[in-house]
Each structure stands twice: as structure tokens, then as C-alpha cells.
Amino acid sequence: MKDKQDDLINYVIALGDDSLILGQRLSEWCYHAPFLEEDLALANVALDFIGRAQMFYEYASQLETRVLKENARSADQIAFLRDTRDYRNLLIVELPIGDFAFTMARQFTVDVFNQLYLQQLVNSTDSTLAAIAGKAIKETDYHLRRSQEWMLRLGDGTDESHQRMEKALKELWGYTAELFTMSAYETALLRDGISIDRTALCSDWRKIVTELLQQATLKVPSDEWQVTGGREGLHTEHQGDILAKMQYLQRTYPGLEW
Amino acid sequence: MDSIPVISEPLAERMARRRDSAYPALWDLLDQVKDPEIPVLSLWDLGVLQDIVVADQTVLVTITPTYSGCPALREMQQDIDSVLIAAGYAKVEIATQLAPAWSTEMISEKGRQQLLDYGIAPPVSRRGQPICCPRCASPKTQLISQFGSTACKALYCCEHCAEPFDYFKCL
């Protein structure tokens, strides 16, 4: 029973980490986007992901309270006071923002995945996860509408935008495999209908992504290499950098409030 | 049959909850609390205020957040708290409820009109309906950006009077 509770806490935190790190990455565009409307859009999407992370962490904190009582961590402590190896986010979300093409290519591949994933998670037997998914999916629909528009516009745009988009896709392609890799704790929760079988989403994801890339006159990169490890806390060198910036204030002034 | 007024199911449920409530004075009191970003719209008309009950001398207010990352949520909680404290209720608890997820269908008719008067085009109630300019009412408008000044709004421009305006997105 205790193991099951641990699996659930790990799972909820991992979902929160995916959202928080992507939200933090997107927020780096604030003040730097190519034009004002895009600056607002990126900040808005970032905020949606940070809000999503907060819902997952609040739930993780509640779950911890059941087991650890007063020793349980708050949502803020979960977000700001863990070290690199304790984060469970997928590697694809921690990669630096790169150029605008890279940011949008990552966003598009992750948005398509999130839509498929959340469509399943709304049916989770865990009612809190189902409720979070119910809120998040409506936002993801808007995210995807925008990111696929950018794929078309940049892929089927100028020579330079096309070439940058192809380069971006090639750079991130090997990280997409992890979207469909099950961690031990996700597998353990699958039997009770709490978690989602990621492996089963792969063919739909490929179909949607391939169709849109073709429409955008972009080549689908070949599967030459794959990396995984985020779910076990084995990150790229970029994770430490993003945490240093994100956690600076709480580490320097512990417990500081807005 | 376009003229028959239809309200959404979640709005009807909320209206019934208020109508059948044992604490009508509390609902009326909280009508004072407005959305911090759209200060003409009460939390009730926005559809954020879900329920009010009193137990053991504690007022328990249930609200539902609009967008997940909406930064106005904390301010709404503080405003509810201070209005109730000022009215003499010593103990206030505010719970946030995620399901059923907030949707623009929870906005009341009055709220939609207030949005329009404030210069924000209210969310269209049926798919395919045109988004009309809140200033000149022209249906000839163009989307500038799906994401506007806050998470809940998109940017539009009127092709008739050339004014840019905010549109409250359907969610």
C-alpha cells in the first residue's frame, strides 16, 4: 500500500516537473520574442504550464501529507528546493530554447503529445488527476492551434525559416522517444487505471506529426538516435542551468514570499 | 428560433444553487467582489463563485479557477476574505474546486453584457457565430493573436472601424 502511494506521488511530481520546466523555458522568451503579440502568446502559454505544475504539486503535497503528516513538503518546496537528480521531467522540455524555430518545433511535438495524453488522463480513476486533465486539455487545444500554425508558416516560408525548422526538428527528434517511454512507477499505476499507457500513443502521434510536417514541406527526421533518462533523474547538462536560475531566489532567501 | 434564450447547464446548476441557498445574504455580499482584471464583472457573473456554505461559524466559499495559471486567483481569494471579514464573519475558508472545469458557459447573461459594455467582446455562444466589434458591432473582424493581454483574452481588430479589441476566448 505504501509503495503504491510512493508511485502515485512520484507520478504526480513527474507530471508537474514536465509542466514547470517547459513553462520556465517558455518564459525565457518574455521581452525577447520576435514581436509583441508573440511575446504575449509565449508568456501566456508559459503561464498555463506553470499553473498546471502548481495543480500537480498541490496534489503531490496533499498526498505527502497523508503519509508524512507535518513533514510533508508544500507545493513551493517541491518546485524550488529539489536538486537536479530529484527532478523527473522528460529531457525534451529542459533543452534550451534555441532559436524561435526550435522553440516552436519542440512546442508542436509536445503539444500534439499532450493533447493525446490528456484525452486519456481525463478518464483516470484518480479523480484529482482527471480534474487537472479536464482543465489542462482545453488550454492545450489553444497551444496546439498556435504551434501548428507556426510549423506551417516557418516550414513553408522562406529558405531560411525552412532550413532552421529542419535543423530544429533534427536536433530534437531523438528526444521525442522519451514521450512514449514508461517509467517503473507509471507502469505500476497502470493496472488501477491511474496512469496512462504512453507507448500506446506513439502511432497516433507519429501520424499527426508526419501529416503536418508534410503539409509544412518539412522532412520527418530519421530515428538515428534516442536518449532517455529524465524520469529517473538522469538529465542533460542544461537542467542544472535552468534550476540555478529558477531556484536562485528561494535558495538565497529561503521562504521568501511575494 | 434564435430568439429563445438558452442558458448552459453549468450556469443553470449554479443559479439553482444560489436560488436554493440558505444564505442569500452572503451571495449578495460577495456580489461586491469583482474580477481584478475586469473590475466591472463580479466573481458570480464571471462564473468563478461556485458555492457558499456556513458550518461551525465558518464561511466556506468554493471557487473554481478560470485558467490554470491565472495570477488573479490569489487576489480573488484575498478580496473574498476581506469582504467577509469586514462584514463581521470572523472565520472564512476558501476552497478551489477543479471539476467541473470552469468554462465560458458559466458566465451569466449579465456578465456577458458587462463585458461588452467594458469593451471586451464576450465569448460566442455557438460555433460559427461571428465575433462582433464591441464598439461598432460590425461582424467583420479579424484575429490578430490567439493570446492577448491576459490568458483569457485574444486580440482582434475590427475591419469596419479599425479599432483593435479584446475578445474573451471560449474555454
> A146 to chain B, minimum CA–CA distance in Å?
7
Chain A partners within 8 Å of B102 (Cβ): 135
- Using CA atoms, how far apart are residues B151 and B66, in angstroms rounded to an integer? 9
Domain boundary, last residue among B80, B105, B130: B105
The mean per-residue pLDDT over the stretch B81-107 comes to 92
Looking at residue B128, its pLDDT comes to 79
Q: Inter-chain contact A40–B171, Cβ cutoff 8 Å?
A: no
Number of domains in chain B: 2
Q: Inter-chain contact B149–A38, Cβ cutoff 8 Å?
A: no
- Using CA atoms, how far apart are residues A26 and A32, in angstroms rounded to an integer? 11
Q: How confident is the model at residue B150 (pLDDT cuts 50, 70, 90)?
A: confident
Which tens digits make up the pLDDT trace of A73-129? 999 999 999 999 999 999 999 999 999 999 999 999 999 999 999 999 999 999 999
Looking at residue B136, its pLDDT comes to 94
Domain match, B97 and B126 both: no
Across chain A, mean pLDDT equals 95
Q: Inter-chain contact B145–A40, Cβ cutoff 8 Å?
A: yes
Domain assignment present for residue B24? The answer is: yes
Looking at residue B4, its pLDDT comes to 63
Domain match, B74 and B142 both: no
Looking at residue B10, its pLDDT comes to 84
Query: Which positions 49-68 of A are in contact with B (Cβ < 8 Å)?
Result: 49-52, 54-55
- Name the one residue in this structure whose C-alpha cell is 507545493: A75
Looking at residue A255, its pLDDT comes to 86
Domain match, B85 and B125 both: no
Domain match, B68 and B39 both: yes
Domain match, B124 and B99 both: no
Q: Inter-chain contact A134–B99, Cβ cutoff 8 Å?
A: yes
- Using CA atoms, how far apart are residues A250 and B18, in angstroms rounded to an integer? 42
Residue B157: domain span: 119-168
* CATH number of domain containing B72: 3.30.300.130
Pick from A208-212, B100-104, B163-167: least confident: B100-104
Looking at residue B126, its pLDDT comes to 72
Chain A partners within 8 Å of B148 (Cβ): 40, 44
Domain assignment present for residue B2? The answer is: no
A27 and B CB contact within 8 Å: no
- How far from each other are the two terminal CA atoms of chain B, in whole angstroms? 25
Which tens digits make up the pLDDT trace of A165-176? 999 999 999 999
C-alpha cell at B116: 461588452
Q: How far is CA A41 from CA A106, A155, B154, in A?
A: 16, 20, 9
Domain match, B14 and B78 both: yes
pLDDT score of B5 more than 70? no
* Chosen from A26, A30, A44 to mutate, greatest number of chain B CBs within 10 A: A44
Domain boundary, last residue among B105, B137, B152: B105
Q: How confident is the model at residue B113 (pLDDT cuts 50, 70, 90)?
A: very high
* Chosen from B62, B77, B147, B152 to mutate, greatest number of chain A CBs within 10 A: B147
Domain match, B48 and B97 both: yes
**Closest of A20, A65, A48, A137 to residue A129, by C-alpha:** A137
For B137, how many CA atoms within 13 A lie in the half-sphere containing its CB?
1
Which tens digits make up the pLDDT trace of A221-244? 999 999 999 999 999 999 999 999
- Using CA atoms, how far apart are residues A31 and A40, in angstroms rounded to an integer? 9
Sorted by where each starts, the structural domains of chain A and their CATH numbers stand as: 2-252 (1.20.1260.10)
C-beta atoms surrounding B19 within 10 Å = 9
Looking at residue B2, its pLDDT comes to 55
Helix (H, G, I), strand (E, B) or coil at B60: strand
Domain match, B29 and B77 both: yes
- Provide CB contacts within 8 A for B49, sequence distance 6+: B27, B30, B33, B42, B43, B61, B63
Domain boundary, last residue among B79, B105, B131: B105
Domain match, B133 and B91 both: no
Q: Would the ipTM clear 0.90, i.e. be above it?
A: no
Domain assignment present for residue B3? The answer is: no
Across chain B, mean pLDDT equals 90
- Using CA atoms, how far apart are residues A93 and B113, in angstroms rounded to an integer? 41
C-alpha cell at A171: 536536433
Please, are residues B122 and B154 in contact by the beta-carbon 8 Å criterion?
no
- Using CA atoms, how far apart are residues B36 and B66, in angstroms rounded to an integer? 13
A134 and B CB contact within 8 Å: yes
DSSP string of A225-253, one letter each residue: -----GGGT---THHHHHHHHHHHHHHHS
Which tens digits make up the pLDDT trace of A4-52? 899 999 999 999 999 999 999 999 999 999 888 899 999 999 999 999 9
